[in-house]
Amino acid sequence: MTDYATLLKESGLKATFQRMNMLENIARHGHMSNDEIYEEVVKSHPSLSLATVYKNIILMVDNGVLVEVPIEGKKSKYELIKDDHIHLVCTECGEVEDKPHNENADALFTSMTKKENFSLSKQQINLYGICASCQIQEAS
């Protein structure tokens, strides 16, 4: 089990129970919207307000604990900071699937940014489309 208290402290944040609970839920689900995070966390912290959850999400994104995955026409999803990977994002159901990072893509970005003398600090590769199960539903 990941030590979320250490992760938070190393990122310069206080390890509150609410934050640790948020991180546990996000880790279990992979990718969650802020509303989904709130719905889960409020079960163990009933007095928690939506505004507090939103505020903590933004804070944890700013401090590099969480990563925001933008979804066209829908609310962003959030995931724990992980090794670089590629997202397959379904614009129908909002499902986000993690795919292993690709060495060829990595080499392409390295040479491209080097040529532009662009100092790359972070990257996120999101491929948007319609997932297999949504395609089945559309056809029926």
Residues that bind Zn ion (CB under 5 A): 79, 90, 92-93, 95, 98, 131, 134
Decide whether 5 or 134 has the Cβ nearer to Zn ion: 134
What's the closest the beta carbon of residue 69 comes to Zn ion, in angstroms?
Answer: 6
What's the closest the beta carbon of residue 75 comes to Zn ion, in angstroms?
Answer: 15
From the number of C-beta atoms within 10 Å of its C-beta (0-12, 13-18, 19+), residue 112 rates as: exposed
What's the closest the beta carbon of residue 122 comes to Zn ion, in angstroms?
Answer: 13
For CA atoms 25, 88, 124, 58, the dihedral sign is negative
Decide whether 19 or 87 has the Cβ nearer to Zn ion: 87
What's the closest the beta carbon of residue 90 comes to Zn ion, in angstroms?
Answer: 3
Decide whether 40 or 79 has the Cβ nearer to Zn ion: 79
Decide whether 39 or 95 has the Cβ nearer to Zn ion: 95
Cβ contacts of 132 within 8 Å, gap of 6 or more: none
Instruction: Give alpha helix (H) positions in the chain.
Output: 4-10, 17-29, 34-44, 50-62, 103-115, 132-139
